[in-house]
Amino acid sequence: MTRNIGQLDRAIRIVLGLALISLVFVGPQTPWGWVGLVPLLTGLIRWCPPYALLGIDTCNKP
């Protein structure tokens, strides 16, 4: 798995994932907040399967 997520994309995914997961514990407390695991995990491992399929790469590789 080659990294295909850049720094800004990674930060946005992690913040969005944590925000969605927080909905499970505060706010409307719906199980839909667990959807936040997807952007959180892709941000942490820096690899996104749909990006790989579509040939998208937001990394700044030398």
| pLDDT in the model for residue 55 | 94
Kindly report, residue by residue over 1-29, the tens digit of the pLDDT.
Answer: 889 999 999 999 999 999 999 999 998 88
The structure tokens listed for 11 are 């930060």
The length of the chain, given as a count of residues: 62
From residue 61, alpha-carbon distances to 21, 37, 44, 58 in Å are 31, 27, 18, 9
Kindly report, residue by residue over 24-58, the tens digit of the pLDDT.
Answer: 999 888 888 999 999 999 999 999 999 999 999 99
Query: What is the Cα–Cα distance from 28 to 57, expressed in whole angstroms?
Result: 35
Query: What is the Cα–Cα distance from 32 to 30, expressed in whole angstroms?
Result: 5
| pLDDT in the model for residue 62 | 62
Cβ contacts of 32 within 8 Å, gap of 6 or more = 20, 23
